[in-house]
Amino acid sequence: MKTIQFREALREAMSEEMRKDENVFLLGEEVANYNGAYKVSQGMLDEFGEKRVIDTPIAELGFTGIAVGAAMNGLRPVVEFMTWNFAILAADQIINSAAKMLQMSGGQVGCPIVFRGGNGTAGQLAATHSQSFEAFYAHVPGLKVVTPSTPYDAKGLLKAAIRDNDPVLVLESEKMYGDKGEVPEGEYVVPIGVADIKREGTDVTIVSFGKIIKEAHKAADELAKEGISVEIIDLRSVRPIDYGTVVNSVKKTNRLVVVEESWPIASIASEIAYHVQHYAFDYLDAPVKRVMQSDTPFPFSPSLMAEALPNVERIIAAVKSVSYK
């Protein structure tokens, strides 16, 4: 094993797949000469050249359309968005072209493409630059959506995404690019649609994904001091969702808290809660609890930001609530 940053894990995934398959290429704003807005693609222009690492204009709809057309014709583009907030401008190509092409062509034309970039809150960037899009895109048939929380998962999931024959969205976090973690020296892939039990426990199950899962780990440490054993499941993929791992955990712990950095209405947490009540109702000793972002546009004020996001205190309170403590 070796210790690398999250951004390095993503870079290794892209570089390794580009060395194996000449049909894989990277395009996006500042990915080439500037080495990427967050230095994810650092050095890739030097290795692969300007035909495979392509700087685009600030025109998300345009370069996403180019990439979707390339995928329909047999190439495997990796599209980097500086932030998923900007990808709203490209949603037509993602939702109406990439996601639907295989079905609308009767299986004749696929769209093997990866869309990736920073997602969620990242400091005082205010309402239009602080949105989480997991549930937004997970709602769309034809797309796969993954959201890694560690360098290991980031590299393995991105490699799986590039090899996949369907459109895959990789939602990262600007605040995690510098995070360090262990990854294997050799080849590996993390399969899409398989959750990971990050921490085993017996009393309460916490389900989460993305960077907010860090708050769940902190809460679990504090709860352990009070004798409450928490099991933490990292979904890793939010379409498809590994419901089996979640249900089996709830059958063991009999309690569930879902932590999500997004708005509560039509959320991933709501979907998890539905499946658990449907498939594990008789095992539940308490109602399912959600710890969500506030149902408002994200604020600019630091004090309001702290109130808007899930935090350790709110998670602990939710766990104690389902534990009747």
For the segment 228-282, what is each residue's pLDDT rounded down to a tens digit? 999 999 999 999 999 999 999 999 999 999 999 999 999 999 999 999 999 999 9
Are 192 and 164 a contacting pair, CB within 8 Å? yes
Q: Rounded mean pLDDT of 13-41?
A: 97
Output the domain CATH number for residue 150.
3.40.50.970
Q: Rounded mean pLDDT of 104-127?
A: 95
Catalytic residues: 60, 129
* Domain assignment of residue 309, given as a range: 196-322
pLDDT tens digits for range 184-225 = 999 999 999 999 999 999 999 999 999 999 999 999 999 999
Taking the alpha carbons of 93, 95, 96, 101 in that order, is the dihedral positive or negative?
positive
Domain boundary residue, one of 161, 183, 205:
183
Is the same domain home to 29 and 142? Answer: yes
Which of 193, 185, 129, 128 lies closest to 152 in space, CA to CA? Answer: 185
189 in a structural domain: no
Is the same domain home to 250 and 156? Answer: no
Is the same domain home to 178 and 277? Answer: no
Is the same domain home to 213 and 175? Answer: no
Tokens standing for residue 131 = 């949105």
Q: Rounded mean pLDDT of 49-72?
A: 97
Instruction: Give the per-residue pLDDT at 123.
Output: 86
| Whether residue 41 has pLDDT greater than 90 | yes
Which of 262, 312, 301 lies closest to 123 in space, CA to CA? Answer: 301
Residue pointed to by tokens 């408002």: 296
217 in a structural domain: yes
Q: Number of folded domains in the chain?
A: 2
97 in a structural domain: yes
Q: Residue 69 and residue 294: Cα distance in Å, rounded?
A: 38
pLDDT tens digits for range 182-193 = 999 999 999 999
Q: Residue 117 and residue 108: Cα distance in Å, rounded?
A: 29
Q: Residue 221 and residue 218: Cα distance in Å, rounded?
A: 5
Cis peptide before 299 (omega within 30 of 0): no
Q: Residue 176 and residue 139: Cα distance in Å, rounded?
A: 25
